[in-house]
Amino acid sequence: MKIILINGPNLNFLKKREKIYSNFSFKKIKKKIIFYSKNKLKIIFFNSNCEGKIINFIQKNLNIKFLLINPGAYSHTSIALLDCLKVYKGVLIEIHISNIYNRDFFRKNSLISLRSNLIISGMGIQGYFHSIDYIINYDYRN
């Protein structure tokens, strides 16, 4: 089964950013995610610092059943990304490495959460693995 994992702005700099995000580079996290999924999923990774490129990528992949997204700062600012995700009919899992609810006041509100089926926040990179578990064990009768 194909799934999409999108990372938004500055997530390509994980190891270089504040330690609340990760001690690993996203390249290392990507390898861990592939290993963790144990070949049960074909994961299409996409990372961009550009809002329009993320939106274009989602629009080209509307037929994929599961979309995992760590929208980064676009979580809190992008009505355009939210509008695009409202067109997507699959299962949307929103992931945040840090706990957005105990950070700066402007990070507490995620516009993307208005469309998300599941929100994982504050579990570090484990949030990616929990989203994989959710997909592998998903009840397809829904």
State the catalytic residues.
Answer: 21, 96
- Asked whether residue 97 is marked as a ligand-binding residue, the answer is yes
Rounded CA-CA distance 135/73 in Å is 25
Q: Two tokens at 95?
A: 């992931």
For residues 112 and 82, is the Cβ–Cβ distance under 8 A? yes
* Residue 76 annotated as lining a ligand binding site: yes
Identify the bridge partners of residue 5 per DSSP, sorted by sequence position.
45, 68
The Cβ of residue 18 has, within 10 Å, a number of other Cβ atoms equal to 8
Instruction: Name the amino acid, one letter, at 107.
Output: R
103 annotated as belonging to a binding site for a ligand: no
Closest CA to 94 of 80, 73, 115: 115
Does 70 appear as a known binding residue? yes
Annotated binding site: 70, 76, 83, 97-98, 107
Annotated binding site for substrate: 70, 76, 83, 97-98, 107
